[in-house]
Each structure stands twice: as C-alpha cells, then as structure tokens.
Amino acid sequence: MDPEHLAQLEAALGQVTGFIYPNEVELHWSILIVIYPYLTGLVAGAFILASLEKVFKVKALQPTYRLALLTALAFLIVAPMPLQAHLGHPERAFEIFLTPNSASAMAMFGFVYAWYLMVVLLMEIWFDYRADLVRWRQNDKGVMKLVRWLISLGSRDVSPAAVAFDKKAVQFITIVGIPSAFLLHGYVGFIFGSVKANPWWSSVLMPIVFLFSAIVSGISMVLLIYYVTTLLRRKELDMSCLDALASFLFYALIIDLSLEALDFIHRLYESEESIEILEQLIFGKLFLSLTIVQILLGTIVPIVFLAAARFSELPNEMKRMIYFVAAVLVQVGIFSTRWNVVIGGQLFSKSLRGLTAYKLEFGGQEGLLVAIGLLILPFLILALLLKILPPWEDAKTDSSELSEAMTEAEPSEASSLS
Amino acid sequence: MIESLAKPVKALRAWIRGRRAGSRRRRIPTQLIQLGVIFAVVGVGMFLMRQKFVPDTFGDLGHYRAAAVAANAELEPRYAGWQECAMCHPDKVEAKNSSFHRTVSCESCHGPANDHASNPMQLKPELPAGREPCLACHSYLASRPTGFPQIIEERHNPVRACTGCHDAHDPTPPESIQECSACHNTIARSKAVSPHAPLDCEVCHEAPPEHKVQPRAHVPKKPFEREFCGTCHDRRARPPEEIRGVDLSVYEIPRIDLVTHGGTFVCWQCHYQHSPEAR
C-alpha cells in the first residue's frame, strides 16, 4: 500500500467514533461530487427562470432571459467535468452513448444530459440569437465574424417569416425544456434518493427537494450575475426586474424550506432505526453546515431579508443591497445543502453505530484546488459567451437598427458605416 | 452517351420546376435544414462510431461482449483442482481436508499445478518456503474475523519458518488450548497480538479456582476503577520492570495523567484492553 495513503488512512482513523466497517473510514465521493449537483442545479434553475419569461409571459424578467440561458449553458458545459475528474479517463466517457445501459441510472444520465444540452438549451439559444447573429455579423471583422458565422451555421435569412418561425421554435423548445429541466435535476436527486441502503439519501422526496433547491439556486445565481454585470457595464439596474427576481426567489425559498421541513418531520415521525445516528449526524458533524449555514444563513435569513425588502417601502438602493446579500447567502446555503447531502450521507456507518470524518485534500485530482477551478470555470465560459452572444437589450436594438440602416443604404454607404 | 442522358435530365428538371411552381406546400424553413444537417452529422457519426467501436457480439447475452465467454473458455487452464491432487497424494489431501485448512485449496499454497498434473515427473509445483506464504492469511489485520489465528511477525518467533512448528496440512496449534483460552479463545487470540500479550489473564482478572468448575457461579473479578489501569499507565507509576513482576522492558508503556485524562470516563469506555488497537 502507498505509504502516503496509509498516513491519510491513519489520520482518518483518528476521527472515527463508534463502530464503523473498514471500507467506510475514507469517503469515496469527494468534494467533486458535491460540485456536480451544485452546478447541475444552477443549470436547471437558470433555465426554469428563463422559461418564466417565455412561457408564463413574465415581462419584468425580460432583461434576464438571455442572460439566464447563457448562464445555464456555461454551467451545463462544466457540469460533467467534476464527474470525469472524479472517475478519471474522461476519454472513455463517450462509450456510455455507444453502448447504452438502461439498467444503470448513472449511465442514463448521459442521455438526459445530451438531450438537455443539444435538443433544449443549444437549440433554444440558437433560435433566439440566430437573427441577431446574422445582423451582428455584418459589422464584425476577423475572428468574431468567423465565430458568429459558424455559430449561426451560415444562416442568412432574416426575413419576417424566418424571424417569426424562430420565435415559434423558441416557444416550443421552452415548453419541451421545462419538463427536461425538471428531469435533469430531478434525476440528480433520483440518483441519491434511490440508494436504498443509505437512510440519509433514500427518500422519494429527494428529486423534488433537489428540484426546488435548483430553482432557488438558479434564480439567485442569475440575480447575482445580472447585478454584477450591469454594474460592471455601468448601466442602470432594472428595478422591476430585480423585484420580480426577488419575489420568485422568495416563493421558491418558501417551497424549498417547506419540502425540507416535510422531509425532516416525516423522518422524525417514522423514527426508523437510523434516526439515532442521523440525530448524531445533524447535531454533531453537520451542525455547522446544516443547521447554521444551510437552514439559518442559507434559507431563513434570506427569506426574512427578501420579505423585508420586497414588501416594504425601502429606497431602491437599500433594496438592491439586501437582494444581493440574500442571493449570496442563498448560494452559500445551496452549496452547503449539496455538501450535507453528498458528504453527510457518507459520514455514518452502515452499522448505524459509528461516524467518520471527511478530510478535504488541498491538491491532487480530487482536491480543493481542482474544486475551486471547476467553480471558476463556468464564469470564464460565461464571460466568453457574453462576448460572443451579448444578451443585453441595448446590443440587440442598436445592431438591429444599424442593420436596418445598412439594408436601406447603398453598398458603398454601408461599407463606410461599418 | 452524354447526349443521350441530357434529354431525360432536362425532362426531370422541368418536372421538378413544375412541381415547385404548382405545389402549395410550405417551404421548409432554412433554419430547420441547417439544424437538420448538424443532427444528421451527429447521428451518422454516432452510427459509424458504433460500427467501429462496439464489438460484434456486444449485447447478445447481456451488457457485455458475448464472445468474451468463448475467449475465456479457450484459455489454457492453469489450475488443476484439488480432486486432481488427491489422485496421487490422497494422504496429504485427506489430512488437509479434515484439518482447519479444509477450505484452503492445495493450489492456494503450491501455486497453479495443471502442468504438474499433466507431466508429474518433469514439472514440479512450488514448495512454499519461509514465512511469507503463511503470513498472507495469518499476519495481523484489523479487518480479519475476530478469533482468526493471527500473529505479529516481529513478535512471533522471528526468523523461524512457520513449518518448523506447524504442519501446513494439519495446522492444529502445537500447544493445545488450556487455562483461560480453553473457553475464552476468541479473547485469547486477540490478546495474543495486543500490547497486553505478555500479561497473564490473572493480572487483571483474579479468578477463584472454582470458576473452572462452575464458571457462572464463581465469576472472576474485573477491574472497576481507573486507578487499576493507572498502576501501569499513570505517569507517576513505577518503572516497567517493577510492574507486576513481568519483564516489560521491550515495550514503551503509554503514560497519561490519571487526574486530567479522559474526564469522568472509565478507561475501558474508550480503550478495549484485549484489542491490538488498545491504545
């Protein structure tokens, strides 16, 4: 055995309390598996937020529609990376598509992911941006022109009929997309909820709880990104949009908290043989991350903040600050929710008589550095996407006006304009 | 040749033009055609990759390559099985099969012997030598079943080969179990590999002689206070050689301050004295 690994095992053994089986001392699912549902939840949540504007016609959310779609895409691209880093051999990942195994819930996730990425998200973004891409291309030069030509698949048609078709297509894909987004994150909950040997995970409520926490995390992430990008662009924040985001975040938080409470009360009332070890877990190893961070700081405090700001007559500057703080707290809370599920579920023995501890590595394939890198990567991808596909209202109108001017002008004038 | 083809091609073109002009069907939007091309490329790519990478017999029997079964069946067997050994070595196999090693196959120690079975004179199997082969099963490991005979190599007759004292075909212990271990064998075996191995049971458990006759009516004493462990493990305790009349000089006895260590708990709530992990 590797001496370094032996030293780690010995350090972990010092943390063990009670009776634990030998293969339970070290945790098998590391921080990377915490990041995976966190990222997937953000994708599903951001997409559901985008669909509020399209399907349910919440006009106040118009400024965040495209931003939410791009956020979902940026996080979706990174979502499988923690799994691949955890398993190793990412070059073999495509094999699950070649030999589909319908008996494996994890293998089927590949198809859910591919469906969501290719059929839902990319197509919706493509149809929504297509006409704009064609118009922007006219003023572009060099690499950007080529990139936008490639993304628009060489499309040229910006006739009213084509644009009308795009709108219809977006509408249709969004309607298909909502159950798909539910499927995507419900599925992550399903993977945990279906582990019947683990009383902390095994619950039919798991997919629903995951789904609502996804909606909460997605809305708050889009709120944060909208807030920060608008400030960076030195533009005015749309207060009605922020208010609408805050309202939806508030309602989603209430439902999320209710579901979590329902799950908790249900377990407490059932009082299966696992309840004692779960009690030790909640009030011992997970006290800080569950009771303090997840429930108090990540759920109750944001609910109070949002209610206080949304339904009172505070000045707008004050409201914005409160929304921002609440959204940051929600993100911290959701991350600790994922932590408590993934890490918490492995901290107690199957004997229900002992607890172990998780030692987070700093470097290495499953260490803190990789985790931080994977959390930063979506923002870098998002920054790139914002460059290529600016979601801002002004970018849209300016260039469309310009292109109209160009189509009306003579070719020589058009070239002088650009 | 070309001229003869030109006429029907012209006619076909004219027919298509006519159909286009005459048809009232809606045109397929160009966007869908562009996307369709992408999806078709991905679909065809997947199809070709399946053709190239998925083995022919994959999925015939289950989620694996069915031909792997036949490929494995064709491999040359390396193990003969103990029945084959019994044909020439009935005495050894019979001794083994009625001993504690009855579930251990001959080839677990002697290695794969199919070649030997087919050519007994020329190809001889391994004769295990030294301590290593036995230690594979009998060196101390916390995860082995309680009571399983285990040794700590450095402490158990170092350097001597196991077969000097133990017969591998009939590994009955060289000394028959007696005294406490006659009934408390599981504890005795754990204690034998623990730091408390040099101590007799009676150092801690004073047993009346009647205990051996009526064990339940005359129960031996158990330590019931912290100070008992403190006679060896308190930092103010006497030096090891003066303790209990046992030569403990080779051991480093863990010492603690009995007043401050462990609060109000008694020692055995945290430390199991018979276990090798007693500390």
* CB pair distance less than 8 Å for B31 and A101: no
Chain A environment of B42 (Cβ under 8 Å): 118
pLDDT in tens, B225-255: 888 888 888 888 877 666 656 666 656 788 8
Residue B154 scores a pLDDT above 50: yes
Mean pLDDT of B250-265: 81
CB-nearest to B34 from A103, A153, A161 is A153
Distance from CA of B198 to the nearest CA of A (A): 26
* CB pair distance less than 8 Å for A130 and B30: no
CB-nearest to A98 from B31, B42, B54 is B54
Mean pLDDT of B134-163: 83
CA-nearest residue to A124 within chain B is B35
Task: Please report the pLDDT score of residue A106 as a whole number.
Answer: 86
- B88: exposed, middle or buried (C-beta count within 10 Å: 0-12, 13-18, 19+)? exposed
Q: Quick check: B142 contacting A, CB < 8 Å? A: yes
Residue A180 has which token pair? 């798909």
* CB pair distance less than 8 Å for B30 and A162: yes
- CA–CA gap between residue A19 and residue A53 (Å, rounded): 53
Between B5 and A120, the more confident residue is A120
- CA–CA gap between residue A29 and residue A195 (Å, rounded): 14
pLDDT in tens, A382-405: 999 999 999 987 776 444 444 454
Residue B87 scores a pLDDT above 90: yes
Residue B146 scores a pLDDT above 70: yes
Residues of A with CB under 8 A from a CB of B: 22, 94-95, 97-99, 101, 103, 118, 123, 126-127, 130, 153-157, 161-162, 165-166, 169
Q: Quick check: B119 contacting A, CB < 8 Å? A: no
Task: Please report the pLDDT score of residue A371 as a whole number.
Answer: 95
pLDDT in tens, A181-228: 888 888 889 999 999 889 999 999 999 999 999 999 999 999 999 999
Planar angle of CA B189, B198, B167, nearest 5 degrees: 45
Which pLDDT band holds residue A19 (cuts at 50, 70, 90)?
A: confident
Residue A38 has which token pair? 């966190």
CA-nearest residue to B63 within chain A is A101
Mean pLDDT of B252-260: 85
Task: Please report the pLDDT score of residue B2 as a whole number.
Answer: 56
Computed over every residue of chain B, the mean pLDDT equals: 83
* CB pair distance less than 8 Å for A162 and B29: yes
Which pLDDT band holds residue A381 (cuts at 50, 70, 90)?
A: very high
Distance from CA of B107 to the nearest CA of A (A): 25
CA-nearest residue to B143 within chain A is A22
What contacts B89, CB < 8 A, 6 or more positions away?
A: none
Residue B178 scores a pLDDT above 60: yes
- A263: exposed, middle or buried (C-beta count within 10 Å: 0-12, 13-18, 19+)? middle
Chain A environment of B56 (Cβ under 8 Å): none
* CB pair distance less than 8 Å for A101 and B63: yes
Task: Please report the pLDDT score of residue B23 as a whole number.
Answer: 54
* Domain ranges (residues) in chain A: 31-194+362-396, 238-358
Q: Quick check: B34 contacting A, CB < 8 Å? A: yes
pLDDT above 90 coverage of chain A, percent: 55
pLDDT above 70 coverage of chain B, percent: 86
Which pLDDT band holds residue A411 (cuts at 50, 70, 90)?
A: very low
ipTM: 0.74
pLDDT in tens, A21-67: 888 888 889 999 999 999 999 999 999 999 888 888 888 998 999 99
Task: Please report the pLDDT score of residue B177 as a whole number.
Answer: 64
Which pLDDT band holds residue B192 (cuts at 50, 70, 90)?
A: confident
Give me the sign of the Cα torsion angle A216, A222, A226, A227.
positive
Residue type, B272: Y
Q: Do residues A23 and A195 touch, judged by C-beta distance below 8 A? A: no
DSSP string, A241-307: HHHHHHHHHHHHHHHHHHHHHHHHHHHHHH--TTHHHHHHIIIIITIIIIIIIIIIIIIIHHHHHHH
Residue B22 scores a pLDDT above 80: no
Task: Please report the pLDDT score of residue B24 as a whole number.
Answer: 53
Chain B environment of A123 (Cβ under 8 Å): 35
Ranges A68-72, A74-78, A311-315: which has the least confidence: A311-315
Interface mutation vs chain A, best among B31, B37, B54, B146, most A CBs within 10 Å: B31
Distance from CA of B85 to the nearest CA of A (A): 35
Residue A246 scores a pLDDT above 90: yes
Which pLDDT band holds residue A413 (cuts at 50, 70, 90)?
A: very low
Which pLDDT band holds residue A409 (cuts at 50, 70, 90)?
A: very low
